[in-house]
Amino acid sequence: MNIRTWLLAGLCWAPMVAAEIIVSDVWARETVPGTNTSALFATLENTTRKPTRLVSVSVEGVDKAELHAHTEEGGMMRMRRVEAVEVGGRAEVKLAPGGFHVMLFQLAKPLKAGNEVPVVFQFANGEKVSARARVVNPKQAMQHHNH
Ligand SMILES: [Cu+2]
């Protein structure tokens, strides 16, 4: 192999090891005045055959972010903390209102609709995915959810 093909092979190889998990449609709820909590949602797509898990999420300006699920207990919807969110091989998982979500606590400053916040998703396979969350107000979130 001459140096030229070797270089080309190197260039082609690099993108193949990138993003195994695609994170899209990342958004957070605008903070309700007088509170310092919010929730964040996203779509996670595993492009590999190997199942993985979302294990943590960090959001700029937020002290504590927990993975939560909604479950029904005696006809009441309750939130509970989960250790991880499973993402099966070649599967897509939506974090959405009424289901899995990332609960944000102790926000340094309120989230305002129209702003963007940097977010990092950490997966059990070691992959870290950086994204930007759009901040939307609950009314827009409702429309967003229905379309
Ligand atoms: Cu929650």
85-101 per-position pLDDT tens digit: 999 999 999 999 999 99
Dihedral pair phi/psi, residue 14, rounded to 5°: -55, -50
pLDDT value of residue 147:
46
pLDDT value of residue 138:
72
**Ligand 1 geometric centre to CA of 26 (Å):** 16
Helices (H), the chain: 3-17, 138-146
Q: For the chain, what is the mean pLDDT?
A: 87
Percent of the chain scored above 70 by pLDDT?
82
**Ligand 1 geometric centre to CA of 80 (Å):** 7
Domains in the chain (CATH in brackets) are 19-146 (2.60.40.1890)
Q: Are the beta carbons of 50 and 122 closer than 8 angstroms?
A: no
**Ligand 1 geometric centre to CA of 74 (Å):** 18
**Ligand 1 geometric centre to CA of 123 (Å):** 19
